[in-house]
């Protein structure tokens, strides 16, 4: 389980002060996919980085499976797989070599690394390029490799930031099917997205965020009933109108 309790994060520059996340709270349960939805710049990525221990909140608390993300970051990292939207694989290593490297960083035994590499490669259809250099791979192949790297240690909690962004339709389908299967295995999954169709396919519950504030937190069915719509896009725009968001980018 993941719990986020009234977290706030502010960034300052010489010109201005920006509240990226404003007293935000939600929870994600095992065997479910929680979707954090919002336009670009809403605070989704900042929130996921706080949960993943990459950033510390100014105020509030986050925990993963009972471990405090600020006080016990090492324990949290053992239990999460985090795929960030700006994780760009490059260089001369192959996916197989990267999986071995990250497996060793997670203190996995060689036999477990080999087993997980085989499992992930077969599921993500990576066998044809497992021994090719990352620099020679397509965008979709790199995304599959990045997913495999983030999950090599078989984490209980999966956090993906814009998991289908920039992918062709076939690769995107592979990723969504993969997340559904992991949900059914009992994993706790959190994704961020601004693509409403992805959220409708995957999520048991969604939180809608504007300007760092969580303005709705409900099941899809609950949102449809509340706003009198039968699709998430129309719900989203009704909420945007209510919140006074004129332009969504």
Angle at the Cα of 189 from the Cα atoms of 35 and 233, rounded to 5 degrees = 15
pLDDT in tens, 120-141: 999 888 999 999 999 899 888 8
Q: Residue 249 pLDDT > 50, yes or no?
A: no
Residue 2 CA, chain-centre distance (Å), reads 13
Q: How confident is the model at residue 246 (pLDDT cuts 50, 70, 90)?
A: low
Q: How confident is the model at residue 172 (pLDDT cuts 50, 70, 90)?
A: confident
Q: Provide mean pLDDT across the span 70-81.
A: 96
Task: Answer yes or no: pTM beyond 0.75.
Answer: yes
98-to-76, 92, 147 alpha-carbon distances in Å: 22, 10, 12
Q: Residue 167 pLDDT > 60, yes or no?
A: yes
Q: How confident is the model at residue 157 (pLDDT cuts 50, 70, 90)?
A: very high
CB atoms within 10 A of CB 231: 12
Give pLDDT, residue 190: 97
| Domains of the chain (ranges, CATH numbers) | 2-242 (3.40.50.300)
Give pLDDT, residue 46: 95
**Nearest residue to 162 via CA among 74, 30, 39:** 39
Least confident of 57-61, 79-83, 161-165, 180-184: 161-165
Average pLDDT of the chain, as a whole number:
92
Q: Residue 169 pLDDT > 70, yes or no?
A: yes
CB 153 within 8 A of CB 122: no
Q: Provide mean pLDDT across the span 221-237.
A: 95
Q: Which of 91 and 35 is assigned the larger pLDDT? A: 35
Q: Provide mean pLDDT across the span 105-133.
A: 94
Give pLDDT, residue 45: 93
CA distance 48 to 28: 12
Q: How far apart are the first and last CA of the chain?
A: 31
187-to-20, 23, 78 alpha-carbon distances in Å: 28, 26, 14
Q: Residue 77 pLDDT > 70, yes or no?
A: yes
CB 49 within 8 A of CB 64: no
Q: How confident is the model at residue 86 (pLDDT cuts 50, 70, 90)?
A: low
Q: Residue 168 pLDDT > 90, yes or no?
A: no
At 208 the three-state DSSP class reads strand
Cβ neighbors of 29 (< 8 A, separation 6 or more) are: 1, 188
């Amino acid at each position: 389980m993941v719990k986020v309790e009234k977290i706030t994060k502010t960034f300052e520059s010489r010109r201005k002060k920006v509240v990226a996340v404003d007293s935000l709270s939600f929870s994600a349960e095992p065997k479910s996919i929680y979707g954090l939805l919002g336009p670009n710049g809403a605070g989704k990525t900042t929130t996921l980085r706080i949960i993943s221990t990459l950033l510390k909140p100014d105020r509030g608390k986050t925990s993963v499976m009972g471990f405090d993300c600020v006080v016990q970051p090492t324990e949290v990292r053992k239990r999460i797989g985090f795929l960030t939207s700006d994780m760009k694989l490059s260089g001369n290593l192959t996916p197989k070599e990267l999986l071995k490297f990250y497996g060793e960083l997670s203190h996995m035994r060689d036999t477990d690394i080999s087993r997980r590499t085989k499992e992930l490669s077969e599921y993500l259809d990576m066998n044809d390029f497992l021994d090719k250099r990352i620099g020679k791979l397509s965008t979709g192949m790199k995304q599959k490799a990045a997913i495999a790297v983030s999950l090599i240690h078989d984490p209980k909690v999966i956090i993906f930031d814009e998991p289908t962004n920039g992918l062709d339709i076939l690769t995107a389908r592979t990723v969504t099917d993969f997340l559904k299967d992991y949900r059914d295995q009992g994993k706790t999954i959190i994704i961020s997205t601004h693509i409403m169709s992805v959220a409708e396919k995957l999520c048991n519950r969604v939180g809608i965020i504007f300007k760092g504030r969580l303005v709705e937190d409900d099941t899809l069915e609950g949102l449809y009933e509340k706003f009198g719509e039968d699709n998430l896009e129309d719900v989203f725009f009704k909420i945007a109108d209510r919140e006074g968001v004129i332009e969504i980018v």
